[in-house]
C-alpha cells in the first residue's frame, strides 16, 4: 500500500510516518528577526573608549567655560579646568556689571516670535504644495528651493534697504519680520511630511464641508506636531544665536535693547584693555554660560518630539 507524502506548512516534504514538528506548524510563519552577530568584550570596550573620547572632545569647551566663569580676573585664560582660586561671586556680580536680564528677555521674545511665525507660515505654504494640484506646481516648488542656493551676503543689502524704506531700523521687526514669508528649507521639510499623510482624510473632510483652512488647521497641523517641533527648535536656536542681524538692525546706542549675542560682543569690547577696560572677562564667561542654558532646557523638554520629528522627516524624505 503506497503512502502519501505529507507536507509542512511551508511546502517542504515531510518523510512518511513523521508528523510535522512545532517549528513546521503555524507558529513558524512569524516574521523572522534580524539576528545581529554578538559583540565580543573587546569590541564593546573599544566602542566605549571611542565614544568617551568623542564625548570628551565635545564637552571640553563647555567644561572650559564653566571653569573660566569661576575664576578671578587674572586666571580666566590659564586653560586650567580646575580653578586655582574659586570666585563664585562672579555669578552675583555679573547682574550689576551687565544688563543680562534685558538681553535674555529680548532674545527670548524675538526667538519665540521668529520661530512661531516661520513654523506656521512655512507650514501653510508647504500644505499648499502638498495638497493642491495645479499646473506648474513642481516648477514653482523648484523656484522656492532654488532660493536656498543664494548666499546670505547676496540678499543682505536688499533686505536692509527694504527695512530702511519701511522705517523700522533700530527695532526688533527686522529680526523676526522676514519669517512671515516662510523659509525654503522648512517648506521642503514640512511638505515632505504632508505628502505622507493619507489624502483620504482630507477628501473625507471636504465632503463633510470643511474649508481648505479647516483642513490645514484641524487635520494637517495636529498630525504634524513632531515636524512642527523640529522646525520650531531649529529656528529658535538660529534666532537665539543670530548676531549678524542684531548687529545690522539694532541701535548701537541702546545697550538695554541688545539681544544676548550682541550683548556678549558688546561686553567683550567693554572689558577689552585696548578700549580702556580692566579685562574682566570672567563676567563675559558667566554671561555666556547663562545664555547657553535656555537652549539646553529647550532641547531637554522637546527632545522626544525633536528626535521623533527628525526620524519621521528622514523616512518621509
DSSP string, the chain: -PPPPEE-TTS-EE-TTPPP-GGGSGGGGSPPPPPPPPPPHHHHHHHHHHHHHHHHHHHHHHHHHHHHHTS-GGGTTS--SS-SS--TTHHHHHHHHS-HHHHHHHHHHHHHHHHHHHHHHHHHHHHHHHH---TTHHHHHHHHHHGGGS-HHHHHHHHHHHHHHHT-TTSSHHHHGGGGG--HHHHHHHHHHHHTS-HHHHHHHHHTT--HHHHIIIIIHHHTHHHHHHHHHHHHHHHHT--HHHHHHS-TT-GGG--HHHHHHHHHHHT-GGGT----HHHHHHHHHHHHHHHHHHHHHHHHHHHHHHHHHHHH-
Examine the pLDDT at 180 and tell me if it is beyond 80: yes
- Cβ contacts of 62 within 8 Å, gap of 6 or more: 292
Distance between CA 66 and CA 58 in Å, rounded?
14
Task: Determine if residue 11 is left, alpha or beta; phi over 0 gives left, psi from -120 to 50 gives alpha, anything else beta.
Answer: left
Least confident window among 58-72, 129-143, 274-288 = 274-288
Predicted confidence (pLDDT) per residue in 289-303, tens digit: 999 888 888 777 766
Q: Residue 22 — φ and ψ, nearest 5°? A: -65, -30
Mean local confidence (pLDDT), 83-95: 91
pLDDT band at 27 (very low <50, low <70, confident <90, very high): very low
pLDDT band at 9 (very low <50, low <70, confident <90, very high): very low
Examine the pLDDT at 309 and tell me if it is beyond 50: yes
Q: Residue 280 — φ and ψ, nearest 5°? A: -80, 65
Is the whole model's pTM more than 0.95, yes or no? no
Q: What is the pLDDT of residue 20?
A: 47
Q: What is the pLDDT of residue 296?
A: 82
Task: Please tell me the CATH code under which domain 94-316 is placed.
Answer: 1.10.3720.10
Ranges of CATH 1.10.3720.10 domains, the chain: 94-316
Q: Report residue 143 CA to chain centroid gap.
A: 25
Cell output for 203: 477628501
pLDDT band at 80 (very low <50, low <70, confident <90, very high): confident
Task: Determine if residue 209 is left, alpha or beta; phi over 0 gives left, psi from -120 to 50 gives alpha, anything else beta.
Answer: left
Q: Are 298 and 89 spatial neighbours (Cβ–Cβ below 8 Å)?
A: no
Q: Report residue 88 CA to chain centroid gap.
A: 32
Mean local confidence (pLDDT), 122-151: 91
Amino acid at each position: 500500500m503506497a503512502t502519501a507524502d505529507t507536507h509542512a506548512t511551508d511546502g517542504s516534504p515531510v518523510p512518511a510516518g513523521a508528523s510535522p514538528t512545532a517549528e513546521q506548524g503555524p507558529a513558524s510563519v512569524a516574521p523572522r528577526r534580524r539576528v545581529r552577530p554578538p559583540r565580543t568584550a573587546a569590541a564593546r570596550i573599544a566602542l566605549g573608549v571611542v565614544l568617551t573620547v568623542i564625548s570628551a572632545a565635545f564637552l571640553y569647551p563647555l567644561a572650559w567655560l564653566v571653569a573660566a566663569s569661576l575664576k578671578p580676573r587674572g586666571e580666566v585664560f590659564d586653560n586650567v579646568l580646575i580653578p586655582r582660586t574659586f570666585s563664585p561671586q562672579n555669578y552675583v556680580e555679573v547682574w550689576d556689571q551687565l544688563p543680562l536680564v534685558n538681553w535674555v528677555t529680548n532674545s527670548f521674545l524675538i526667538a519665540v516670535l521668529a520661530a512661531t511665525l516661520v513654523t506656521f507660515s512655512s507650514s501653510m505654504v508647504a500644505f499648499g504644495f502638498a495638497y493642491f494640484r495645479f499646473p506648474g506646481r513642481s516648477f514653482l516648488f523648484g523656484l522656492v528651493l532654488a532660493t536656498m542656493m543664494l548666499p546670505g551676503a547676496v540678499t543682505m543689502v536688499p533686505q536692509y534697504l527694504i527695512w530702511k524704506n519701511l522705517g523700522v531700523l533700530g527695532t526688533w521687526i527686522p529680526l523676526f519680520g522676514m519669517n512671515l514669508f516662510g523659509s525654503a528649507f522648512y517648506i521642503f521639510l514640512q511638505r515632505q511630511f504632508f505628502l505622507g499623510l493619507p489624502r483620504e482624510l482630507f477628501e473625507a473632510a471636504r465632503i463633510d464641508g470643511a474649508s481648505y483652512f479647516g483642513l490645514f488647521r484641524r487635520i494637517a497641523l495636529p498630525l504634524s506636531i513632531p515636524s512642527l517641533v523640529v522646525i520650531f527648535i531649529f529656528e529658535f536656536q538660529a534666532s537665539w544665536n543670530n548676531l549678524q542681524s542684531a548687529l545690522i538692525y539694532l541701535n548701537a546706542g541702546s545697550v538695554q535693547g541688545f539681544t544676548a549675542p550682541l550683548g556678549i560682543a558688546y561686553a567683550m569690547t567693554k572689558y577689552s584693555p585696548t578700549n580702556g577696560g580692566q579685562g574682566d572677562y570672567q563676567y563675559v564667561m558667566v554671561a555666556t554660560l547663562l545664555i547657553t542654558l535656555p537652549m539646553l532646557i529647550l532641547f531637554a523638554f522637546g527632545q522626544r518630539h525633536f528626535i521623533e520629528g527628525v526620524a519621521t522627516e528622514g523616512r518621509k524624505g
